[in-house]
A and B are shown apart, each in its own frame.
Chain A
Amino acid sequence: MLKSNKKKVLVFVAVIGLLIFLSSIGILNPFIGFSDRIFSPTMKNFYNLGSGLRNSFDNQAGKKNIFTENEELKVRVANLTEQNVELELVRQENKLLREHLNFLGKNNYRYVMSSIVSRGDITDVSDKSEVITINKGLRDGLVPGLAVVSSQGIIIGKIADVKDSISLVYLTNNSKCKLAASILGQEGTEGVTEGDRGLTIKMGFIPQSKEIKKDDIVMTSGLEYLVPRGLAIGRVIEVEKNNNELWQNAVIEPVIDNDSLVIVSVLLPSN
């Protein structure tokens, strides 16, 4: 390395050190917020492009398996007919839930709509898209802990961190996203949900006395101040009950594909 280069690098390292110092005391925040706002429309378009590509890949992958699936489905039709009655009940419950929610229109929820501008993070240790970044932040009244929902009113995560114009959202399949939850049709809080390795959601701390069965709908309980009651989290696919344990657990399948999300809404406190 040449001597002049060394000098320039030293100056530059000093500048970076100064930037880090200025950032730590908050002086850089307005500038970073301004940059976020400037870049975010372009980022939104790039993200939409990438997201569109991902969705078309998923569709193609689905088509390849269609013949195999068809054979399997024929066998399953007989079994499903039997389950149909039970599912019809769940459908009615779901309909009722939607009516209860009646999202973004008739409810008194205040909300902020935002676009996803990035996906994944270094903290996303399972590499299964547990984190998204949205283009709304402190300026729009967002604070950590607020619920983030899809257009159908299904909770997809919670705000984990906010900057001036962007926010970090932990999705429900993230182990850091904990939600007080209950079963549809039952009173009070039944347990706490958290992501399980980026794939499913685990509901723990459910008292042994509570009756939970497969296909039950799990929703937010309203115990958390910033997360209203009645937001659908997912459907129970397995119940882990051991009489020696103090609590029982349930494995929940999210009712929405997080990968297909492009626009989300953040629910604000009513006051």
Chain B
Amino acid sequence: MYWRLLFNLFLIFILGIVQVAFVSALPFWLKNINLLIIFLVFILSLRGFMFGFWWTAGMAFILEIFSFLPFGVYFFSLISAFFLANFLLTNYFTNRSLYSYLALTLASLFTYQVLLYSLNYGLHYFLQEDFILNLDKSFLADKLEMFLVNILVVVLFFYIYNFISKNFQPVFLVRGQIKK
């Protein structure tokens, strides 16, 4: 029990560090990869709500440690994105389809980004500091690029996981083999 907890904490720590230090230093569009959101969606669908919730909280905490935004901004944004993913998964999507993962990741990513920018803008407004956000072509192109990159990573993860595990493979019921 405790070993499993420690192991999960270690994985959360590694994933958080990889996102904050490694991914941010990558070249070109690779730095737009959001491993946290992608992992959260996968963990939510594979391991369930509570397990995913603890992971979300752990990763949000790592982000908070290295963030210069007021404490709580990442908690709120990441957990809200996670709740949205859970709501969509429970009510509208299956957990075995690539398209479901793509939709869930995009929805979570969009929510996460909108909340982060909104909270940041709100805090700067409240503190009467400058926060210049040019919603111009360049900004929108950057965000579009970010969504596309993350879609690619989800596709990659999905096929890798599908290759090493049978969780995503379809199950068919054959008529005549079901015993009453």
Complex interface: stretch among B101-109, B127-135, B168-176: B127-135
Q: How large is the interface on A (under 10, 10 to 19, 20 to 34, 35 or more residues)?
A: 35 or more
Chain A CB count within 10 A is highest, among B18, B23, B65, B86, for: B65
Please, how many angstroms separate the alpha-carbon atoms of A238 and B86 in the complex? Answer: 53
B178 part of interface (Cβ distance < 8 Å):
no
Scoring B residues 48 to 90 as 1 if CB is less than 8 Å from chain A, else 0, what string do you get? Answer: 0110010001000010111011111001000100000010001
A255 part of interface (Cβ distance < 8 Å):
no
Whether B139 pairs with A125 at a CB distance below 8 angstroms is yes
Q: Please, which residues of chain A bring their CB within 8 A of the CB of B57?
A: 12, 16
Given A5-B49, A9-B53, A20-B75, the answer on whether A46 and B117 have CB atoms closer than 8 Å is no
Q: Please, which residues of chain A bring their CB within 8 A of the CB of B50?
A: 5, 8
Q: Please, which residues of chain A bring their CB within 8 A of the CB of B22?
A: 46-47, 49-50
Q: Please, which residues of chain B bring their CB within 8 A of the CB of A8?
A: 50, 53
Q: Please, which residues of chain B bring their CB within 8 A of the CB of A127?
A: 32, 139, 142
B17 part of interface (Cβ distance < 8 Å):
yes
Chain B CB count within 10 A is highest, among A50, A58, A119, for: A50
Please, how many angstroms separate the alpha-carbon atoms of A49 and B25 in the complex? Answer: 8
Whether B72 pairs with A23 at a CB distance below 8 angstroms is yes
Q: Please, which residues of chain B bring their CB within 8 A of the CB of A123?
A: 120, 131
A120 part of interface (Cβ distance < 8 Å):
yes
A183 part of interface (Cβ distance < 8 Å):
no
B26 part of interface (Cβ distance < 8 Å):
yes
Scoring A residues 24 to 55 as 1 if CB is less than 8 Å from chain B, else 0, what string do you get? Answer: 10001000100110010011101111110110
Whether A125 pairs with B132 at a CB distance below 8 angstroms is yes
Please, how many angstroms separate the alpha-carbon atoms of A84 and B22 in the complex? Answer: 41
How close is B100's CB to chain A, nearest CB, in angstroms?
19
Tally of contact residues, B, Cβ under 8 A? 42
Please, how many angstroms separate the alpha-carbon atoms of A175 and B130 in the complex? Answer: 10
Residue from the list B62, B68, B72 in contact with A163, Cβ < 8 A: B68
Q: Please, which residues of chain B bring their CB within 8 A of the CB of A220?
A: none
Chain B CB count within 10 A is highest, among A9, A125, A160, A197, for: A125
Given A43-B20, A50-B21, A54-B25, the answer on whether A133 and B66 have CB atoms closer than 8 Å is yes
A168 part of interface (Cβ distance < 8 Å):
yes
Please, how many angstroms separate the alpha-carbon atoms of A163 and B31 in the complex? Answer: 24
Whether B27 pairs with A54 at a CB distance below 8 angstroms is yes
Q: Please, which residues of chain A bring their CB within 8 A of the CB of B21?
A: 42-44, 46-47, 50, 117-118
A1 part of interface (Cβ distance < 8 Å):
yes
Given A1-B49, A24-B71, A28-B71, the answer on whether A119 and B24 have CB atoms closer than 8 Å is yes
A19 part of interface (Cβ distance < 8 Å):
yes
B153 part of interface (Cβ distance < 8 Å):
no
Q: List 13 A-B contacts (CB under 8 A).
A: A1-B90, A12-B57, A19-B71, A23-B71, A39-B17, A46-B18, A46-B21, A50-B22, A118-B20, A118-B21, A118-B24, A125-B132, A127-B32
Q: List A residues at the B interface (Cβ < 8 Å).
A: 1, 5, 8-9, 12, 16, 19-20, 23-24, 28, 32, 35-36, 39, 42-44, 46-51, 53-54, 57-58, 117-123, 125-127, 133, 160-161, 163, 166, 168, 175-176, 197
Given contacts A32-B65, A50-B25, 15 further A-B contacts (CB under 8 A): A12-B53, A19-B75, A20-B75, A23-B71, A39-B13, A44-B21, A46-B18, A53-B26, A53-B27, A54-B27, A119-B24, A125-B133, A126-B138, A126-B142, A160-B68
Q: List B residues at the A interface (Cβ < 8 Å).
A: 13, 17-18, 20-28, 31-32, 49-50, 53, 57, 62, 64-66, 68-72, 75, 79, 86, 90, 116-117, 120, 130-134, 138-139, 142
